[in-house]
């Protein structure tokens, strides 16, 4: 069985890579049709194999399997291996990534139709899937870092896919550079793990984590820190970049410049969840550090509220959903900080379905509106695009955590976990995630009402919107089904059934009634604040955009300072531009003028030339042609030699 799982895992990872190579290298020869057929086929086989492995691990409770494939390198006492860790956490991530990736591949057939980079697009998407699968199946930090940097590189290519579009190029570069900031902390964390545990493989680290719990390190003199705390904070800095946590969140809204299928793939189930997965995988470390957990809790809860507030003032339909992603990632981080790791992974899975659904439904609208993304130029589309509308509606209810939609079970569990947390900052975090429920309900249904309701605000003579073809709406329907049902089906096994569906792959924290069922949770939600906060947000959106459409303009005038603050996104972009971009330009210009021009060019290059000219002029004067001049020089030289001989 172990060998079978090893070969199946190799196939799951390498098949998307094979599809990427075929489509990328031979796309022009095989044509557009076979490019998408082959890439979809290979991802589909990976999905089926993931289902098989998940059946053995999650249902039949085989494993976990720690499979070493080969030694990548040996230096001194350290051995660096390539291998797989197949356990419940890996299987859940495999299912999420391959399922969403498969639907995005299918959806892209319609969305990217007639695009000149069609084959290149499918090659990039499959390559992205390969890198993410390599990341989640790794059993050591070396392989994890390979996948970590792989998704970062391919996301740069995908966000800047339309490289003739200046905003896309800037967005891709911004994503790449901001992630490098987080990756610097991530690398330091891995280095400290290697120094502490003398290994970068997960199992040896977890087996000896209790022994290192009392070790300290002095970052500043006479100020010892727990080694575990420093490791956890450094790893979290890496997660802040990849999972877009404040203040390293600024890249994610800019990634909307890429094609909509990429927005769904990057923001729903893959790249942005890499940091969530990594912290959940490292739960044995974080569970021993209350300081690091409090840090994660506060940063996550802050992002959950304040990035959601920015979504209120966005008019681009994709940017609303992008800031929604930032907010939901904050909820997941808050759950990890509250040490409710199973709740975070549960929300990761449900969020993958309904957020991919919302992005792809938004893409369907954008296609119908001839690539118009401004919601102020839409309206009245629900009758024209009924399938897109109802699937978007299901995704909206799931995002707002309205029972019995899937988001209710996972998001409500996170809020409850934060409420029960006793860590420093837990009260502040609870306020953020609770009030964030109101904000989520408001901005989600604001986008729904502006896009699908009210009177049409587009030029009827120019736009003739219609329902998208089946290749577009079929993935929407397939995502709407789990967005509705999956939460109720798995909530008990995930959170309340003994050790939980994740087993020992994460540290299990039972903070609720173990006998709870989906029906019980719905009944109890009537008496819980999160549901009423969410419903209040939806009601307020209905009043502002259906009953009294002039009300938002009134609020903008009354709260103009707050509105400007949200439009400016709290000044993060301005700060980064002034301090880092402009500061780097000033520093580079200073180095250029001082180092390059003054020192290198003027002193060394031009100075050496001037020195040779000066020596030449002096030498020219010596060569006078008079014998007594030469005799004088010879006498002077002989005198110098005699003095030197006598001196020494």
As a whole number of Å, the CA-based R_g of the chain is: 30
Res. 514: pLDDT tops 60? no
- Token look-up 């290198």 returns 600
pTM given for the model:
0.89
- Check residue 186 and give its pLDDT: 93
With beta carbons less than 8 A apart as the criterion, state whether 457 and 379 touch. yes
- Start-to-end CA distance of the chain, whole Å, equals 86
| Helix then strand then coil, % of the chain, to nearest 5 | 75, 5, 20
- Check residue 637 and give its pLDDT: 84
DSSP 3-state assignment of 481? helix
Res. 317: pLDDT tops 70? yes
Distance CA 97, CA 129 (A): 7
Of 43-57, 163-177, 462-476, 621-635, the one with minimum mean pLDDT is 621-635
With beta carbons less than 8 A apart as the criterion, state whether 546 and 442 touch. no
Section 27-43 average pLDDT? 89
Distance CA 257, CA 169 (A): 8
Q: And the tokens for 216? A: 């300290």
* pLDDT interval class at 286 (50, 70, 90): very high
To the nearest whole percent, how much of the chain has pLDDT over 90?
41
What 8-state DSSP symbol labels residue 60?
Answer: S
To the nearest whole percent, how much of the chain has pLDDT over 70?
97
Section 341-369 average pLDDT? 90
More confident site: 140 or 620: 140
Res. 513: pLDDT tops 60? no
- Check residue 303 and give its pLDDT: 93
- Check residue 80 and give its pLDDT: 82
Distance CA 302, CA 305 (A): 6
* pLDDT interval class at 118 (50, 70, 90): confident
* pLDDT interval class at 387 (50, 70, 90): very high
Res. 500: pLDDT tops 90? no
Of 321-325, 393-397, 496-500, 532-536, the one with minimum mean pLDDT is 496-500
CB-side exposure of 76: number of CA atoms within 13 Å? 5
- Check residue 71 and give its pLDDT: 83
pLDDT per position as a tens digit, 413-437: 899 999 988 899 999 999 999 999 9
Res. 282: pLDDT tops 80? yes
Res. 463: pLDDT tops 80? no
């Amino acid at each position: 069985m172990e060998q079978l799982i090893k070969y199946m895992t190799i196939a799951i990872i390498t098949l998307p890579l094979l599809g990427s190579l075929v489509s990328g290298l031979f796309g022009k020869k095989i044509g557009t049709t076979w490019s998408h057929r082959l890439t979809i086929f290979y991802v589909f086989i990976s999905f089926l194999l993931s289902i098989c492995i998940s059946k053995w691990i999650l249902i039949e409770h085989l494993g976990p399997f720690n499979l070493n494939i080969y030694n990548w390198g040996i230096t001194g006492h350290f051995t660096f291996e390539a291998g797989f860790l197949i356990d419940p956490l890996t299987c859940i991530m495999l299912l999420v990534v391959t399922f969403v990736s498969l639907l995005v591949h299918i959806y892209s057939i319609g969305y990217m139709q007639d695009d000149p980079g069609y084959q290149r697009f499918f090659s990039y998407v499959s390559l992205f899937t390969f890198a993410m699968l390599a990341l989640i199946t790794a059993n050591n930090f070396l392989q994890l870092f390979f996948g970590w940097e792989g998704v970062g590189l391919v996301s740069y290519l995908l966000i800047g896919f339309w490289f003739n579009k200046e905003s896309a190029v800037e967005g891709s570069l911004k994503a790449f550079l901001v992630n490098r900031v987080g990756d610097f902390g991530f690398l330091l964390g891995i280095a400290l793990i290697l120094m502490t545990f003398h290994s970068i493989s997960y199992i040896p680290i977890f087996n000896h984590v209790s022994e290192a719990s009392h070790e300290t390190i002095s970052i500043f003199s006479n100020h010892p820190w727990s080694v575990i705390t420093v490791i956890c904070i450094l790893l979290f800095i890496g997660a802040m970049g990849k999972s877009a946590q404040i203040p390293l969140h600024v890249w994610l809204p800019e990634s909307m410049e890429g094609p909509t299928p990429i927005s769904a793939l990057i923001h729903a189930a893959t790249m942005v969840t890499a940091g969530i997965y990594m912290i959940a995988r490292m739960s044995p470390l974080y569970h021993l550090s209350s300081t690091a957990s409090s840090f994660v809790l506060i940063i996550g809860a802050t992002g959950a509220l304040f990035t959601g507030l920015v979504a209120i003032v966005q008019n681009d339909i994709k940017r609303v959903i992008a800031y929604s992603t930032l907010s939901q990632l904050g909820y997941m981080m808050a759950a990890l900080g509250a040490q409710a790791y199973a709740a975070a992974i549960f929300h990761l899975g449900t969020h993958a379905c309904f957020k991919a659904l919302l992005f792809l439904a938004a893409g369907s609208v954008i296609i119908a509106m001839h690539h118009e993304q401004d919601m102020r130029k839409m309206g009245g589309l629900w009758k024209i695009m009924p399938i897109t509308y109802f699937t978007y509606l299901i995704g909206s209810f799931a995002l707002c955590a309205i029972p019995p939609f899937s988001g209710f079970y996972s998001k409500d569990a996170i809020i409850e976990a934060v409420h029960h947390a006793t860590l420093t900052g837990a009260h502040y975090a609870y306020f953020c995630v609770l009030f964030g429920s109101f904000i989520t309900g408001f901005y989600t249904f604001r986008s729904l009402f502006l896009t699908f309701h009210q009177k049409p605000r587009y030029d009827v003579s120019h736009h003739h919107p219609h329902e998208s073809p089946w290749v577009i709406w079929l993935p929407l329907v397939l995502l709407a089904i789990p967005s509705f049902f999956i939460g109720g089906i798995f909530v008990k096994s995930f959170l309340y059934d003994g050790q939980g569906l994740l087993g020992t792959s994460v540290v299990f924290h039972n903070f609720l009634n173990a006998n709870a069922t989906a029906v019980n949770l719905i009944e109890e939600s009537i008496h819980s604040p999160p549901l009423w906060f969410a419903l209040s947000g939806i009601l307020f959106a209905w009043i502002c955009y259906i009953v009294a459409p002039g009300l938002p303009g009134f609020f903008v005038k009354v709260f103009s300072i707050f509105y400007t603050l949200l439009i400016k996104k709290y000044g993060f972009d301005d700060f980064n531009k002034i301090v880092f971009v402009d500061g780097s330009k000033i520093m580079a210009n200073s180095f250029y003028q001082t180092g390059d021009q003054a020192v290198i060019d003027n002193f060394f290059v031009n100075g050496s030339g001037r020195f040779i000219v000066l020596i030449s002029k002096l030498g020219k004067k010596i060569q006078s042609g008079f014998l007594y001049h030469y005799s004088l020089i010879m006498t002077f030289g002989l005198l110098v030699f005699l003095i030197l001989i006598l001196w020494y």
